[in-house]
Amino acid sequence: MTDTTARPPRVLLLYYSYTGQSQKVLDTAGEVFRGRGCDVQTAEIKFTDPKYSEKFSRFPMRRVWPDMLSVLNAQKRNETGEIQTPDTVRDGDYDLILIGSPTWWDNVSMPLRSFLKSDEARKLLSGKPFAVFVVCRTFWRENLEGVRELAEAQGGRYVDEIHFTYPGDNLHSMLALTSYLGTGEYRKRSLGLKLPPTNVQPEQLEQARVFASRLADRLLSKTSAAPGQETI
């Protein structure tokens, strides 16, 4: 790992985010790392594939179910698509990479998968520690395991993870999310049913702060570790 004694540890917040939930979680973690003296950079992945990008370029969605279903088959086949990445992916030598991953149809989203299977990901992740932040409605495990496997295949070294699920059972959380996707507003009822809150909640952001603080402790301990001692 890169020697950080001559400079602050460098942390990259890498994510794709349509509704802003992955970004919200990573921004919260980033505040913790900045507060601990780290150099924090962000890398938002843009979904530019012409087959899908128009549907995901606007919020709220114009047609919720057709737009959501448009990527279902591609998601089930683990397909990749065209993306755009910022210079921060290519310009930095990072000591820790935080990956924010929303769940699309129980899986890694196509934009993030596309990056993690790219040559850019190999150059970024090779030999570097990474942690995974997953946001989802109810099913998170396949997404988390998928991100970990893809990042490790590119030479990254997994160090930790945290996941956040939206409140409510499968049916009610789906109704709450689709209502939000279609209106951009939080509604208390839909189709005559009471809806739970959707998206990442304040108490979960506090969990993200605690998690990030633990990672920061491990990262910063490198500066005082004995040669060869494992820290993060």
For 8-66, the pLDDT digits (tens) are 999 999 999 999 999 999 999 999 999 999 999 999 999 999 999 999 999 999 999 99
Cβ of 18: how many Cβ atoms within 10 Å? 17
Q: How do residues 97-132 score in pLDDT, each as one tens digit? A: 999 999 999 999 999 999 999 999 999 999 999 999
110 domain-assigned = yes
pTM for the whole thing? Answer: 0.91
Q: How far is CA 190 from the centre of its chain?
A: 28
Does the residue 203 lie in any domain? no
Highest mean pLDDT among 79-88, 186-195, 214-223: 79-88
Q: Please check whether residue 174 lies inside any domain of the structure.
A: no
Backbone angles phi, psi at 23, to 5 degrees: -65, -40
Contact (CB, 8 A) for 46 and 226: no
Residue-number span of the structural domain to which 56 is assigned: 10-168
CB distance 45 to 111 below 8 Å: yes
pLDDT score at 222 = 73
DSSP letter (8 states) at residue 195? P
Helices (H) and strands (E) in the chain, counts: 9, 10
- Whether 222 maps to a domain, the answer reads no
Q: Is residue 130 part of a domain?
A: yes
CATH of the domain at 117: 3.40.50.360
Q: How many domains does the chain have?
A: 1
DSSP state of 139: -
Q: How far apart are CA 106 and CA 215, in angstroms?
A: 27
Give the per-residue pLDDT at 6: 72
Nearest 10 degrees: CA dihedral of 176, 182, 188, 189?
-90
Length of the chain: 232
The answer as to whether 151 is a domain residue is yes
Task: Single out the residue of 112, 134, 117 nearest to residue 26, CA to CA.
Answer: 134
175 within domain boundaries: no
Does residue 196 belong to any structural domain of this protein?
no
Q: Which residues contact 87 (CB under 8 A, 6 or more apart)?
A: none
